[in-house]
Every structure is written in structure tokens, then in C-alpha cells.
Amino acid sequence: MPKHIILISIDNLRYDCIGYQPDKRELIKFDCLKYLNTSTLDRIAEKGVCFTRAISTSTYTMASHASVLTGLYPPRHKVRLHGPSILDDRALTMPTLLKEFGFETVLSSDNGILFKSPGLMRGFNHVFKTANDNGLFSLLEQIRDKRMFLLVHFMDVHCPFLHSDYEIHPGYNDDFYEHLRNLYEQTGEDIDIESIKTEGKHYEAWNLLCEKYAFDMHTLFPLYVKGVSKFDQGRFRHFFQKMGELHLTEDALIVIFSDHGEGKSQEPSSPYFGHAGSLHDSVIRVPLILRHPDLKPETIDDQVSLVSLFPTVLEMAGIEKWQDNLPYYLDGKTLLPTIMGEEAGDREAYSEVWMSYPDNPLSEENWFLWQRGVRTEEKKYLVYGRPEDFLEGRVFNLENEDFLKAVFRGLLYFPFDPQKNPLYKKLLNRLENGSSKKEVFNLFLESEWFKNRKQFSIFQLKEDPDEMYPLDPTTDPLLTVEFSYYYGRIINLNKGELLESNHSPLALSPMGELKEQPTNNLRDKTEKSIEIIKDALERFGKWNIGVFFTREKETAALLYLIKKTFHEIIPFRVFHLDTLNEAKEVYEFRDTLAQNWGLYLIILKDEKTLKKVIQRYKIKACMVAGKLDAQEVREGEGSCDEWNGLIRICPLSHFTEQDLWDYIRTYQIPYLSLDGNQFQGMRGEPGINDTRPKSSKLDREDEEKEELMKRLKDLGYLA
């Protein structure tokens, strides 16, 4: 258990500008690797746990730090806009909880307004709102005998590159002013460096320079990397040495991360170099290092989200039952099982970005949602604007101009001037001359303005790591089904509720807790089933295996086994051939199980035969729940065979009926038993309670999601 917890946020630090990261493609492409020297960070990383695929929740500082400090995604902590947003009153922060358990809590930020404005100073005993390393060291020396939580936020790597608000020695920023002078001279313009120094207008001079160079990546990227190296060799090295002299790093959990990176922030082909824009990997992928003597140094390639820092830090702090202080469930999960090799990382990582009209960015009315995305290990699913808003009647109840502004913001997602935009003026004229809002909306959908704007994209990150070639999910039925699943997840999350139940749309609910210890026989059989499932995945690949849902208890046991095999994830598609003749309890059970266990569920009402489904979805192998003493699987047939031309995988082929009941009882697996269309719990098994999932508000959300997807298709968003 660490004495101190030290979080170091290096604002704007790219994921690849640190030694442990193997992916240096862009640094090599732009000939910038030769400028990179991060030996100070690298020495820390050598003794720490390093994540190569850590994902931020936003391309903005406030929203990202709010996620780190709360364990919640932006729709839930409510810090979504860069300026006018304020942290939800109900959200408990990391310093608030640690303070309750006896920690002295300290915040030191080079730009304190980024924490004060959204309410992120909540829970801190001591706050430094400007760069003041000496003042911080004086305080730390006074309180170092106490348990301490420290968050240090450095802005040196942020633009203007090579400039630091804290000069560790006279002339520390001379290189910045020399680069500034040279770049202005290349434009044919003189600049008064001394006046800029005296008046403190380095930000204004830098921003004007970037506009002159159109934020060109070839010009700015080398300066950025030089700035990273300067920070590492200069201020950060000085900071870390001083922390060591105060004996604050010896028994401390040290977490080093960034809120976002710097890179492609416009369209894929644009050379624009920045961050407050597109959810490109060069911006949302960030470095993440955890160092403590109890953690074995290693590099982990599993994807993780920054929301998972909150539970990880609190768990490592050694605070018993800290979860009892939270009245809601987190979006993040502790990373300790991932670090120990017991679980995979975060299956899905959510990010979002909003944009503002330039005239008044501090007004909520001047912001609009640009992109929301879910990133997996292999793909990124993006939604542009807010198409779901136009499936609700309240938008059409707005006044004419408010209605049109909502349409443009929600579906065109770019700043526009109502007085100058020809389409806006045309549609407003139609409304003022008696056309209904529905008629005007249909005209908008037929316009080239709308047709030329993306609504949805998929990026294949392995085949297209630079994200140059977005796929349109409306062009292929398989992509449509795949995307609709993630779109539903995004919509549920964006309802912004702090869930007070044991469900979370982007986190699988813990189900199947042990009621009793498994016998050796059951443990051996379970391990054999897990090996069968793993072998099947390696042999066929996840997209070539189909699992078919039935109401039988064997299916619930099989799905639980798969979930156990892959650390709470079911990677295969689950198909339900719906005959439309099932009892309503079957549908209730199916939908609740799908929500709670995160099933990639495909419901088929128009396919009457298994053969057609196999052909349509290109299934090579079918995973079934046959048992040893079931009619369809005889003893001696084995776990994998061919049946009517299809490879059939039977992970339960060595289970007897009694084994299955023992497995269900031991792990309290929910299943469905019907007698006269009524639930009967465990079919009379003595002493066992009904473990069927209870209907909840999220059941209704699933129904709403299906209705939403239908209406999206009606509007032409999905084929």
C-alpha cells in the first residue's frame, strides 16, 4: 500500500513521444524521431507498468481530467463543453474520497482555470493555480509525513511549443523566442521579440504564427517534439529530482498520463496539426505509466480507458470498501487484474468532442456535438452530430428559428452564420410562408449540404492505422448490424444517467458470483471447456463463429462459460432465430441477458432456416450447448465435429445433466424455466432461489434502442 499517490498530468503529450511506445510511425514519417529525447520519463517507465493503448475520453483538457477524477465518461460527469460545463453535483471526485480517508490533497496546475471553471478543484485542501514549483515544494516539505494525494498538471508540452510558464533558470525560454523570430522572418514579417516578452504576449504571437502557416503539420510537428524533449530534460527532470530529494517518490504510487495528444484534428487527409477536434488516434491515444514497488514492471498492449484510473488508484490506496461511498456505478474498472494478467483491459473506450461557434464559446448555446466514438482493439465507430435528436417529437415543437438551428447543429455539425447561409435562409423562408417543419426537414435531408456530410464512420485500425479510409456502415448489411450495436451503446451512454443499479451500458455487470466452491470434478470440466472455446477462437476467428440463443438452460451456461473464458467478454456474435411464437418471458430473458452480459445479439425474424443464416453471415463454425447425455451429442463424439456440412463446437460435450446443474448452482447463473409460460426458478431444485435477471429500466432502453434504429432507417441513415 503506497504512502503517497502522485498523479502527473502532462497536458498535450502524444502517446508516441515516450520511449516505451513501440509505435513511432508518425514520428518517422515526418522525420521527427531524431528530435525526441525523453530519458527522464523513460527511466520512470523502466520501473513501471506502461500501457501502449490508453485512450482519453475527450480532445479537451477539462472533460478528460473530469473523467480521470471521477471514473465517469463525459455524458455522466457533465463536463462536456470546454468552458461553460460544470461537474455534476452528485459526482464524487478522487480527492474528495481520499480526503475523507485521511489524505492531504494537493493540486498544482500551470493553468488553474481549467480546473476551477468546471468545478474540478472539489476536494483539494491546497491549490496552486499558476506554475509555482518552488511554492509547491515548500508545501510538500511541510506535509510530507502525512499521507498525500498530489495532482500536478504541466502545460509545457502544450502550445506554444518550447515555451514554459515556469523558467527553471534565466533564459530557459530563449529557444522558443528564437524559433518564433525565424518562423516570422520566413513569412517576410518582422516581429518585436522584446515587446512580446515584456507584455507577456507569447500566446498571441504563437497563435497568429500558426494561422499564417495554416497549422501545417510539417512545420509544427518538429517544434512540438523538440518541446517534449526540452520539458523532459529541463523542468520535468528538475521537478522529479526535487521530489526525490524530499523522499516523496520512494513509497508512492506514481501515475503519469496525458489528457490528450496533438496531431490530426481535422479530416483524415488534412495536414492540420492540433488537438481540439477529430477523435483521431494521434489525439485520443495517450501515454499511461503506473509505478510502485508492488507493481512488476511490464508493457501492456491491452486497450484501457482513462476512466479506469479512478478505481485503480482507490483500490491501490488500500481503502477498504471505498465503493460503498459511491451511490452510483462507475464507467471505469480497476486495472489491477489486467496488470496481474488475470483480465483483459477495457473492451470499449468511449470518447467525444464538441465544437463551438467562435463568437461566444462560453455560452452553452454556442456549442454543438461533433463526434462521439467507441474504440475497440480493432475498430473505431464514430457518430457525427446528434441524429437521434430528430427522432423525438420535441425538436419539432421548437420555434422556427430554434428548430432550424437545431437541425444545422445536429446534422451538419459546423459553425454557420444564419444570415449568410443560403440553405438556412431558404428553409426559414419556407417556414415563414406556411410550410410545416416536417416538410422543411425533408427538404433539408434532400439537400447537398446534408448528403455531403458524414453521419457514421468505421475505421479498421489494424488495416488502416492512419485512419485515412473510413467505411460507411450503410453500404454493407454486416457493417450495418455491427455499427447499430455500438450506436445503441453510444445512445444509452449519452442519456447521461448516473446509474444507481448494477448495470452500466459500457461496462459488463458482475453476474455469476460464487455461491459455493466448485468441486475438483467441476473445476476440471470447466477448464476443459475453456480450452475448447479458446482453441475454437484461434482456429476460426471470432467473426467466423456463431452462437445461437435458445431458451434452454444449456445456452445460458454456455454463454457464461464464454464470458468466463475471455474475462467478462463474449467476443462472438449471438444469433436468435425468432419464430415470433415465443412466450414474452423468453424475450424478456434474452434482452436482459444481452444487456447485462454485453452480447453482440443479432435477432433474425426473416430467416427461417439455419442454412440461410450461415450463408448470409459467413459462419464457418457453430458453437452449441449439447451435453454428454443429450440426444444430439453422444459419448465419444468429442467437442468438435461436422454436422450437415457445418463445423459444430460443443464446449459442454463432457458435461452430464448433473454437472450442468452443479455448474449453474455454483456460479448462480441466471436461466429460464417455463411451465405454462410462468417462471419456475430452478425447476424444483431444493434450496435454490430463482436467479433469473430482473426486469429493469435498461430493458426498456433496449426496446427504445431497437425503435430508434428502425426510425434511423426510415430517415435514410441506415440501409
Q: State the Cα–Cα distance between residues 685 and 661, nearest whole angstrom.
A: 9
How remote is the C-alpha of 270 from its chain's centroid? 24
Q: Cα(first)–Cα(last) distance of the chain, in Å? A: 54
679 φψ region: left (φ > 0), alpha (ψ -120 to 50), beta (else): beta
Q: State the Cα–Cα distance between residues 256 and 228, nearest whole angstrom.
A: 14
Main-chain phi, psi angles of 252, to 5 degrees: -125, 145
Kindly state the cell numbers that stand for 433: 410562408
Kindly state the cell numbers that stand for 120: 474540478
The pLDDT of residue 645: 66
The pLDDT of residue 266: 74
Ranges of beta strands (E only) in 306-435 are: 349-356, 367-375, 379-384
Q: State the Cα–Cα distance between residues 120 and 74, nearest whole angstrom.
A: 13
Angle at 189 between CA 188 and CA 190, to 5 degrees: 130
Confidence of residue 447 (pLDDT cuts 50, 70, 90): very high
Neighbours of 595 (CB within 10 A): 24
Q: Higher model confidence: residue 325 or residue 199?
A: 199
* Sequence-ordered list of residues with C-beta below 8 angstroms from that of 609, at least 6 positions apart, any chain: none
352 has pLDDT over 60 = yes
Q: State the Cα–Cα distance between residues 154 and 235, nearest whole angstrom.
A: 10
Q: What is the pLDDT of residues 170-185, one digit of tens each?
A: 999 999 999 999 999 9
Ranges of beta strands (E only) in 399-473 are: 456-460
Would the CA dihedral through 79, 80, 85, 88 be positive or negative? Answer: negative
Main-chain phi, psi angles of 649, to 5 degrees: -110, 130
The DSSP symbol for 216 reads: B
User: Identical fold at 4-170+224-346 and 520-714?
Assistant: no
Confidence of residue 587 (pLDDT cuts 50, 70, 90): confident
Q: What is the pLDDT of residues 594-653, one digit of tens each?
A: 877 878 888 887 655 677 778 888 888 888 887 654 444 333 345 666 666 678 898 998
The DSSP symbol for 207 reads: H
The DSSP symbol for 347 reads: S
Mean pLDDT for the stretch of residues 281-305 = 97
Mean pLDDT for the stretch of residues 423-431 = 93
Q: What is the pLDDT of residues 237-266, one digit of tens each?
A: 999 999 999 999 999 999 999 999 999 877
Confidence of residue 474 (pLDDT cuts 50, 70, 90): confident
**Among candidates 547, 536, 615, 544, which has minimal Cα distance to 577?**
547
Bridge-based pairing of strands 573-577 and 600-604 is parallel
Which range among 44-48, 310-314, 412-416, 500-504 shows the weakest confidence by mean pLDDT? Answer: 500-504
699 has pLDDT over 60 = no
3-state class (DSSP) for residue 381: strand
Bridge-based pairing of strands 573-577 and 545-548 is parallel
Amino acid 580 reads: L
Q: What is the pLDDT of residues 537-566, one digit of tens each?
A: 888 888 889 998 888 888 999 999 998 887
The pLDDT of residue 259: 97
Does residue 105 contact residue 126 with C-beta atoms inside 8 Å? Answer: yes
The pLDDT of residue 591: 84
Domain boundaries, the chain: 4-170+224-346, 354-493, 520-714
Q: State the Cα–Cα distance between residues 490 and 373, nearest whole angstrom.
A: 7
Residues forming a β-bridge with 548: 575
**Among candidates 39, 41, 37, which has minimal Cα distance to 8?**
41
Does residue 633 contact residue 626 with C-beta atoms inside 8 Å? Answer: yes
Q: State the Cα–Cα distance between residues 276 and 502, nearest whole angstrom.
A: 34
Confidence of residue 324 (pLDDT cuts 50, 70, 90): confident
Q: State the Cα–Cα distance between residues 64 and 261, nearest whole angstrom.
A: 11
Amino acid 342 reads: E
Q: State the Cα–Cα distance between residues 457 and 203, nearest whole angstrom.
A: 35
Confidence of residue 360 (pLDDT cuts 50, 70, 90): low
What is the reported pTM? Answer: 0.73
The pLDDT of residue 93: 96
The pLDDT of residue 113: 92
Confidence of residue 458 (pLDDT cuts 50, 70, 90): very high
CA atoms within 13 A on the CB side of 132: 16
Mean pLDDT for the stretch of residues 127-150 = 96
147 has pLDDT over 50 = yes
Confidence of residue 453 (pLDDT cuts 50, 70, 90): confident
The pLDDT of residue 1: 87
Q: State the Cα–Cα distance between residues 324 and 302, nearest whole angstrom.
A: 29
Confidence of residue 681 (pLDDT cuts 50, 70, 90): very low
> What integer best gives the mean pLDDT of the chain?
84
* Sequence-ordered list of residues with C-beta below 8 angstroms from that of 160, at least 6 positions apart, any chain: 176, 180, 202, 203, 205, 206, 207
Residues forming a β-bridge with 381: 374, 458
Mean pLDDT for the stretch of residues 73-88 = 91
Bridge-based pairing of strands 273-274 and 263-264 is antiparallel
Q: What is the pLDDT of residues 490-524, one digit of tens each?
A: 888 888 777 653 433 333 223 333 344 566 788 88
Mean pLDDT for the stretch of residues 483-494 = 85
Mean pLDDT for the stretch of residues 104-110 = 97
Amino acid 681 reads: G
The pLDDT of residue 168: 95
Mean pLDDT for the stretch of residues 71-100 = 92
19 has pLDDT over 60 = yes
* Sequence-ordered list of residues with C-beta below 8 angstroms from that of 658, at least 6 positions apart, any chain: none
**Among candidates 627, 670, 669, which has minimal Cα distance to 651?**
627
Most confident of the following: 73-77, 567-571, 697-701: 73-77
Q: Higher model confidence: residue 391 or residue 441?
A: 441
3-state class (DSSP) for residue 688: coil
Does residue 77 contact residue 62 with C-beta atoms inside 8 Å? Answer: no
Kindly state the cell numbers that stand for 130: 499558476
Q: Higher model confidence: residue 508 or residue 24?
A: 24
674 has pLDDT over 60 = no
**Among candidates 687, 673, 453, which has minimal Cα distance to 585?**
673
456 φψ region: left (φ > 0), alpha (ψ -120 to 50), beta (else): beta
Most confident of the following: 189-198, 265-274, 387-396, 592-601: 189-198
Residue range 520-714, CATH number: 3.40.50.620
404 has pLDDT over 60 = yes
CA atoms within 13 A on the CB side of 231: 28
Confidence of residue 426 (pLDDT cuts 50, 70, 90): very high
How remote is the C-alpha of 272 from its chain's centroid? 24
Confidence of residue 489 (pLDDT cuts 50, 70, 90): confident
> Torsion over CA of 414, 418, 420 and 425, rounded to 10 degrees?
120
Q: State the Cα–Cα distance between residues 154 and 13, nearest whole angstrom.
A: 10
Bridge-based pairing of strands 263-264 and 298-305 is unpaired
The pLDDT of residue 633: 39
Residues forming a β-bridge with 640: 649
Q: Higher model confidence: residue 607 or residue 345?
A: 345
Residue range 4-170+224-346, CATH number: 3.40.720.10
Q: State the Cα–Cα distance between residues 444 and 428, nearest whole angstrom.
A: 11
Does residue 68 contact residue 257 with C-beta atoms inside 8 Å? Answer: yes
**Among candidates 78, 50, 715, 677, which has minimal Cα distance to 410?**
715
Angle at 567 between CA 562 and CA 571, to 5 degrees: 50
The pLDDT of residue 571: 83
Does residue 5 contact residue 310 with C-beta atoms inside 8 Å? Answer: no
* Sequence-ordered list of residues with C-beta below 8 angstroms from that of 480, at least 6 positions apart, any chain: 473, 474, 718, 719
- Please confirm whether the linkage preceding 477 is cis (ω < 30° from 0): no
**How many H-runs (helices) and E-runs (strands) does the chain carry?**
26, 20
